[in-house]
Amino acid sequence: MTIEVPPTPHERIESLRASVRYHQHRYYVLDDPALGDAEFDALFRELQRLEAEHPELASPDSPTVRVGGLIAERFEKVQHPAPILSLANAFGPEDMHTWRERLRRLLPEDEQAKLAYVVEPKFDGLTIVLHFENGRFVLGATRGDGEVGENITPNLRTVRVLPLTIPVVAQNGVDKIRPPARMVVRGEAYVTVADFDAFNRSQEEEGERTYANPRNFAAGSLRLLDSSISARRPLRLWAYQILLLEGVDDPLLTHWESLAYLKTLGLPVADQVRRFSDDQFDELVAYLAQWHDLRARLPYELDGMVVKVDSLAHQERLGFTGKDPRWAVAYKTGGEEAATKLLDITVKVGRTGAVTPNAVLEPVAIGGVTVSAATLHNEDYIRDLDIRVGDTVLIKRAGDVIPKVLRPLPELRNGSEQPWQMPTVCPVCGQVLVRPEGEVATYCVNNACPEQLMRKVEYFVGKGALDIVGFGARQAELFVESGFIHDLADVFDLPWETIAEMEGYGEKRLENLQAGIEAAKTRPAARLLTGLGIRFVGSVVAEIVMAAYPDLPTLMAADVESLSAIEGVGPKIAASLVDFFALEPNRLLIDKFARLGVRMTGDEQLVAGDANLPFAELTFVITGTLPTMSRDEAKAYIEARGGKVTGSVSAKTDFLLAGEKAGSKLAKAQKLGVAIIDEDALTAEAGLPGK
Ligand code: IVH
């Protein structure tokens, strides 16, 4: 007879931890989940419950402790076990052959034939250094200056793909590998393009700071002093080099083996690695030429490819020059990126008064275009990346967008570079600049600042707002400078006789411009409201708001309470509108528009709440990525048919419009029995299911 002995809490906790680790690894690292979400949640919750019941069994390595919480005052310094080297660049096949020739020259003849190479992606993230002791993750650091980095262990602990214990427990009967006594691994922290976009989108909706690119976002997330915030950032990492290894049975001989070993231990290692022997060097070069294709297929950003000499003995022998190992090289095509000197940083005043820094560059050709200016986003961007005037900087030009400064190349500094500071006064009008607390932008708060007025007019007459044909930035500048425009309403009160005498304003042109301005007077008032450039009131919000009031003067009299009662208008938007119309000059401005014959009413047919509209009295929630519509488009589509769109699923929700990658809202809708439809069902002519 066998007697079943129930496990002790300690045993049960340990076995749950092992399963959770295993399943998290399959989910996050291998992208091959073996359990459904609900089954996994059940395991996780049981572990959480047992740990709560038995605080004496708590462990910092438990998979339940990834939520962060430790708040550092500053980062401690960490000495790296070996210098964290950087990489020299190669910009094409020729450079690759030159590189190989040098390797061969430096190796004895009998070794040359044994040369082999590993090609791997160059991840566009940030170097991190991970320390493991007896199978436990004990310390993680940034690169710092290459010798000493910063201790960011609490933040790294929240990164789901980083195993806190190695090897990640195998449950498939494979013999357990003994963890190394000590191992230090170099890797790259990054976020995927999709996660970056989703984060920025939600930040934008909340009116919070957005990031310039995934790399910048990863950098910001890694160095947060409050690790509970890092825990909510979608950070990931790749491991790609073993810096130190002690206490293993068989020493590693090649880079290829090192990657395999890291993978066996459960660290995330990229799949896109290839090994070439020396006599396959031409093939290697041909493979590199395709890296743009590879980049297009990967969900994260690449910064080129890295080619490494495979044998660790060869690496040792080849050594390094300055900060670059001779045994490795970064391959870039140079098509979209270039390095050049940052000559100066100037600031530009935008329509909201936001003052943005711009780079003045030594002209450089990127993909056939000469670039001499680039954006630097804001003060924090320059400070976070430590960009200094006089630095050699990396510039990226993608498509038609304004080129941007990616980062400085500090290794090329000579000491004459100067840190930059935001000016204290507006360069145009001399008004003292203000940076509101909690914001990244600095503002010129002088409403009469001529530069600000030009940009306001440009926006007012532009596509998203009144869309006046023949009126662009040039006219905005000319008319403001000539003293014709002192406020936005003056756009409708131009001194045509004077303009007729100006150069470049012949009869035809004048007529077109006048016709464009007349047509703009008749557009629904939502356009005018958009054009005012009120904070948080873009075209979508303007339409929602105007649909709730018969005309602009009525809206002007609304209070925060009635405004926030409108579906889609939060307290922030409501307050911004009320603040705007509370100012006497703004109210006078609206009166002036009315006097000049500009339409004050909305688009009557699209008023939400009309009982005859097909979606009248139906409430929708939108989640996930829809096949053809953006969320704003779907929202506008629903509202134009009389439906309401809200942010969260409740018993009052009639339909959940779900696209790909729908998350918790989908689960909630299923639980509450809310009807789930896709975009096709929404737009089906036969009407909505069940309606
Ligand atoms: S190897 C001595 N491999 O690129 C070895 N670096 O430009 C030098 N990087 O700071 C680094 N992916 O942050 C290596 N597969 C990869 C990489 C990689 C990205 C980064 C790394 C380094 C920078 C050098």
Quote the distance between the C-alpha of residue 76 and its chain's center.
27
Stretch 288-294: mean pLDDT:
81
pLDDT digits (tens, 9 = 90+) for 443-455: 998 878 999 999 9
**Alpha carbon distance 255, 310 (integer Å):** 5
CA 87 – ligand 1 centroid, Å: 7
DSSP 207-254: T----SSHHHHHHHHHT-SBHHHHTTS--EEEEEEEEEEES-SS---B
**SS3 per residue for 255-273:** HHHHHHHHHHHCCCCCCCC
User: Among 388, 387, 332, 366, which residue's Cα sits nearest to residue 87?
Assistant: 332
Mutation probe of ligand 1 site: the residue of 188, 215, 256, 307 with most atoms within 8 A of C-beta:
188
Using 50, 70 and 90 to split pLDDT, how confident is the model at 691? low
Name the residue at shortest CA distance from atom 15 of ligand 1. 122
- Tell me which DSSP letter residue 136 carries: E
Closest CA to 130 of 249, 228, 268: 268
The beta-strand segments (E) located in 288-437 are: 302-309, 320-321, 324-325, 328-331, 337-349, 354-366, 369-375, 388-389, 392-396, 404-408, 418-419, 433-434
Residue 269 Cβ < 6 Å to ligand 1: no
Q: Residue 34 — pLDDT band, cuts 50, 70, 90?
A: confident
Which of 392, 442, 454 minimizes the C-alpha distance to 417?
A: 392
User: Which pLDDT score, from 0 to 100, does residue 605 have?
Assistant: 42
Q: Which atom of ligand 1 is nearest to the CA of 120?
A: 15
Q: How far is CA 306 from CA 64, 68, 287, 635, in A?
A: 36, 33, 12, 45
Interval between CA 187 and ligand 1 midpoint (Å): 8
Q: Is the CB of 85 under 6 A from ligand 1?
A: yes
Out of 271-285, 389-403, 458-472, the most confident range is 271-285
Among 66-70, 309-313, 391-395, 674-678, the range scoring the smallest mean pLDDT is: 66-70
342 by DSSP, 3-state: which? strand
Q: Is 77 a catalytic residue?
A: no
Q: Chain-centre distance of CA 648, in angstroms?
A: 24
In this predicted structure, the answer to whether residue 474 has a pLDDT above a threshold of 60 is yes
Identify the burial level of 604 via C-beta atoms within 10 angstroms of its C-beta, where 0-12 means exposed, 13-18 middle and 19 or more buried.
Answer: exposed
Ligand 1 pocket test, candidate residues 142, 306, 411, most atoms within 8 A of CB:
306
Looking from the CA of residue 86, the nearest atom of ligand 1 is 24
Q: What is the pLDDT of residue 68?
A: 65
What distance separates the 2 farthest-apart alpha carbons in the chain?
A: 110
| Burial 221-230, CB ≥16 within 10 A → b, else e | bbbbeebeeb
Nearest Cα residue to atom 12 of ligand 1: 122
Q: Give me the pLDDT at residue 663, please.
A: 80
Q: Residue 35's Cα: distance from chain center in Å?
A: 30
Q: Which atom of ligand 1 is closest in space to residue 89's alpha carbon?
A: 7
Contact (CB, 8 A) for 193 and 300: yes
Mutate to test the pocket of ligand 1, among 123, 274, 331 (most ligand atoms within 8 A of CB): 123
Distance of CA 631 from the midpoint of ligand 1 (Å): 38
Residue 69 binned pLDDT confidence (cut-offs 50, 70, 90): low
Residue 475 Cα, ligand 1 centroid: separation in angstroms?
A: 49
Backbone angles phi, psi at 179, to 5 degrees: -70, 150
Instruction: For 634-682, give the DSSP string.
Output: HHHHHHHTT-EEESS--TT--EEEE-BT--HHHHHHHHHT-EEE-HHHH
How confident is the model at residue 607, as a pLDDT? 42
Q: Output phi, psi for 147, to 5 deg.
A: -105, -45
Q: Which two tokens stand for residue 443?
A: 């503002």
Can you give the pLDDT at residue 73? 67
Alpha carbon of 86 to ligand 1 centroid (Å): 6
Indicate if the alpha-carbon torsion angle 584, 589, 590, 594 is positive or negative: positive
Report which protein residue has its CA nearest ligand 1's atom 18.
Answer: 122
Token reading at 22: 């295993």
Atom of ligand 1 nearest to the CA of 122: 12
> Best mutation site among 86, 87, 321 for ligand 1, i.e. most ligand atoms within 8 A of its Cβ?
87
Most confident of 193-202, 322-331, 346-355, 486-495: 486-495
What is the distance in A from the centroid of ligand 1 to the CA of 143?
11
- C-alpha torsion 607→610→616→622, nearest 10: 10
Angle at 427 between CA 359 and CA 473, to 5 degrees: 70
- Given the residues 77, 114, 122, 396, select the one marked as catalytic: 122
CB 466 within 8 A of CB 528: yes
Helix (H, G, I), strand (E, B) or coil at 375: strand
CA 500 to chain centre: 48
Atom of ligand 1 nearest to the CA of 303: 19
Instruction: Look at ligand 1, atom 2, and give the residue with the nearest C-alpha.
Output: 85
Question: Does the pLDDT at position 228 exceed 90?
Answer: no
The answer to whether 601 and 624 have CB atoms below 8 angstroms apart is no
Give me ligand 1 centre to Cα 496, in Å: 62
Distance spanning both ends of the chain, measured CA to CA: 63
What is the pLDDT, as a whole number, of residue 367? Answer: 64
**CB of 381 closer than 8 Å to CB of 366:** no
Ligand 1 site, residue 188, Cβ cutoff 6 A: yes
Distance separating alpha carbons of residues 433 and 435, to the nearest angstrom: 7
What is the C-alpha to C-alpha distance for residues 124 and 188, in angstroms, rounded to an integer? Answer: 8
pLDDT given at position 447: 77
How many helices (H) and strands (E) would you count in the chain?
26, 26
Classify residue 516 by burial, with Cβ atoms within 10 Å: 0-12, 13-18, 19+: middle
160-185 residue pLDDT tens? 999 999 887 654 555 668 899 999 99
- Which of these, 520, 541, 532, 516, lies nearest to 589 by C-alpha position? 532
Per residue in 396-431, pLDDT tens? 876 556 788 989 988 889 999 999 999 999 999 999
Q: Ligand 1 within 6 A of 122 CB?
A: yes
Could you tell me the CA-to-CA distances from 69 to 12, 44, 72 in Å, in that order? 26, 19, 9
Angstrom distance (rounded) from CA 409 to CA 394: 7
* CB 327 near ligand 1, within 6 Å: no
For the Cβ of 86 lying below 6 angstroms from any atom of ligand 1, the answer is yes
Confidence of residue 360 (pLDDT cuts 50, 70, 90): very high
Ligand 1 within 6 A of 240 CB? yes
DSSP code at position 72: -
Contacts of 297 (CB under 8 A, 6+ apart): none
| Residue 306 Cβ < 6 Å to ligand 1 | yes
Q: What separation in Å is there between the alpha carbon of 328 and the centre of ligand 1?
A: 9
Instruction: Count other Cβ atoms within 10 Å, centred on residue 626.
Output: 19
Which string of b and e fits 177-205 if b means at least 16 CB within 10 Å? bebbebbbbbbbbbbeeebbeebbeeeee
325 lines ligand 1 (CB under 6 A): yes
Q: How far apart are CA 608 and CA 642, in angstroms?
A: 4
Closest approach atom of ligand 1 to CA 126:
13
Interval 120-147: pLDDT, tens: 999 999 999 999 999 999 999 999 888 8
Quote the CA–CA distance of 123 and 117 in Å, as a whole number.
18
Distance 306 CA to ligand 1 centre (A): 7
C-alpha of residue 334 to centroid of ligand 1, in Å: 17
Query: Domains plus CATH for the chain?
Result: 9-58 (1.10.287.610), 88-331 (3.30.470.30), 337-412 (2.40.50.140), 450-520 (1.10.150.20), 525-595 (1.10.150.20), 610-684 (3.40.50.10190)
The closest residue, in CA terms, to atom 11 on ligand 1 is 86
More confident residue, 449 or 643: 449
CB atoms within 10 A of CB 241: 20
Is there an atom of ligand 1 within 6 Å of 120 CB?
A: yes
Residues 209, 658: Cα–Cα separation, whole Å: 27
- In single-letter form, the type of residue at position 352 comes to T
Question: pLDDT-based confidence at 327, cuts 50/70/90?
Answer: very high
